[in-house]
Chain A
Amino acid sequence: MSTVQAQPAPLAEEAPVSLWRDAWYRLKRNRLAIFGLCVIVLLAFVALFGPYLTPYDFLSQDLEARNQAPSLAHLFGTDDLGRDVFSRVVYGTRTAFLVAVVVTAIAIVIGTVLGAVAGFFGNPFDRVIMWLTDVTMSVPNLLLVVVINASLKTPIAQWMEARYLETLNPFYRETVWIDFLLVFGSMALISWPPYARLVRAQVLSIRSRPYITAAQALGLSNRIILTRYVIPNALGPLIVAVSAGLGTAMVLESAFSFLGVGVNPPTPSWGNMISDGLRVWQHYPHLLAAPAAVLGLASVAFSFLGDGLNDALNPRGAK
């Protein structure tokens, strides 16, 4: 059909792989990242199904068998109330994932919206949002969480109890979710600034790339440019940040539990197990070792995967 006789230039010899498959290919060759990925998949499986598979309930006490060392019957031994430590660590995995996923998700939504608005619309939004970010980051994390918990937890609990006595509505009796709400809320509140900064920087840099001008020169709408050109290009670094952020959130939750402002007993979390274990570690080291080792493993796994994703997703520009 074509009357044009242009000789096609020889193509570079590259296997036709997609961008994401290309990244996956690079990730696969990174041993540490794959190790991290396997650990995370395993832990996620444990978080989802573990509590149904453990031989003991995480709450059931066996006062005959207190503070036992690890054995076949109790893989990680038992604690001072005779509860099976393995079952508790397994349930703690669920707590850890729940906290990490929910907190990171909230932080990402807040961070992405604020960062994108700041980057895309510029001043005065930019100035206000960046000020907010700086202020949040300059307040010591622990202080903020302690203040929020200390000032809100007791009044809310008292209010709930009063309502329960008044109405006898069982809804007001269950207070575990308030605990979670406060932990999630306060952690998300201190975790969003890095995401906001990242997204803002991404949007700023992408907005001035030639392919955005090229898309505008095609007459495409702002909506299409934002959803098909800006956001997908900002995704890579965000994925990396999320992977690292999940690990950080788990460690953060443990730190808060350790200080008594995290998830409260009897709901097992690695953090409150560690803080219990620390009190008796000279006599029963397994009570500290088991949750600490799992937390360490999870945190290392997320950081390996984050590094691997960073390497796998970034080199496309440098090629």
Chain B
Amino acid sequence: MMKTENRLLDVKDLTIEIDTRSGPATIVDSIDLHVGKGETLGVVGESGCGKSLTMLSLMRLLPNKIRVAKGEAHFDDRDLQKMSNRELRKVRGGDIGFVFQDPMTSLNPVMRIGDQLAEPLIYHRGMSRKQARERAIELLRLVGIPGPEERIQAYPHELSGGMRQRVMIAIGLACEPKLLIADEPTTALDVTIQAQIIDLVKGLREKLGMSVVWITHDLALIAGLVDRVVVLYAGTVVEDAPVDELYANPRHPYTRGLLASIPKLSDAPASRLNSIGGTPPEPGRRPQGCPFAPRCPLAMDICRTHVPKLEPISAAGSHRAACFAVEKAREAA
């Protein structure tokens, strides 16, 4: 297992709950995650499995009625949950850059994009407005926006979706963070632009030496980008492996389903998860045992009563899965 000292982000036992009329319901259930320095982690899972909330909780940005019930999140050996608001503000945008899921609604519609880029530079880097402006132009050039000198004057609604996504990435990168968290930064874009943005982040990662968490529900898209993948299902980690290992040797039935359902280029995105029947459980209606049991082709009796733990599969311990069938197979071997 990876040495703890090399971990930039280390999340342990993170549990997130939402207050509902019938009491608190668990949305994210005891997640463990870690990201090494310079490492790129892919976080994969169906819509609604808690990817965004997990990342928002790290920055203490959860919406109303949703809160962290237990768990720790260490960044650079500091506990993000216990930090003072003042310290936290320095981390937000300064050490951790965030690229939000929806480029259409995550930019301030009445502020020029140059100013939106300049704001964090002025706060975190103490730049003057003029310096920040120069840097904003540089950043826009870096993310491949043509004519950045004019573009900094533009308002978000004057840019196409792909351009706005680049602006979001530029904002996330503005202060050269140690960690970039990108929440499905390419879902809204068409395939060629998706590929461009992935190339862009790859190049920037090497240039800046930062760590990246890349959230997506599209396993195929990130194959060439990430070092390691964590597969989430209904708010739990079901499998965790180096990317090549995961593709070559997926163990959890859910991961297998995801991989089997990777679309050909000709497929519509909607057909992605067709090979796994059913839908994930809603928060508050989680089954008693393995959350995947109702949809699992291999489900056994124990799956409906007990929750499988995330256990190492290989001796090296870098590949882990939470599944009784996988355990049984290993014991049999």
Contacts and interface: CB of A to CB of B under 8 A. Distances in A.
Contacts of B105: 209-211
A215 B203 contact: no
Contacts, number: 131
A314 interface: no
A231 B64 CA distance: 21
Interface residues of A, number: 39
Contacts of B150: 16
A1 B92 contact: no
Interface string B96-134: 001011100111111100010001100110000000000
B155 A18 contact: yes
A19 B199 contact: no
Interface stretch (B159-167, B305-313, B319-327): B159-167
Contacts of B115: 228
A214 interface: yes
A317 B107 CA distance: 12
Contacts of B193: 9
Nearest to A18: B155
B90 A232 contact: no
B200 A4 contact: yes
Nearest to B174: A218
B33 interface: no
A219 B124 contact: yes
A213 B92 CA distance: 11
A73 interface: no
B93 A217 contact: yes
Contact of A9 (B89, B101, B160, B203): B160
B63 interface: yes
Given A9-B193, A11-B163, A218-B92, A229 B98 contact: no
Nearest to A217: B98
Contact of B108 (A4, A216, A229): A229
Interface of B: 56, 59, 61, 63-64, 88-94, 98, 100-102, 105-111, 115, 119-120, 123-124, 138, 141-146, 150, 153-155, 157-160, 162-163, 168, 171, 192-193, 196-197, 199-200, 203-204, 207
Given A19-B110, A220-B123, 18 more contacts: A2-B203, A4-B200, A8-B144, A16-B154, A208-B64, A209-B105, A211-B107, A213-B61, A214-B168, A217-B61, A217-B92, A217-B100, A218-B120, A218-B171, A219-B94, A221-B89, A232-B111, A317-B109
Cβ-closest 9 pairs across A and B: A4-B203, A218-B93, A219-B92, A6-B144, A219-B93, A217-B98, A219-B89, A9-B162, A12-B160
11 contacts: A3-B203, A4-B142, A8-B145, A9-B193, A209-B105, A210-B105, A211-B109, A214-B107, A215-B119, A217-B93, A232-B111
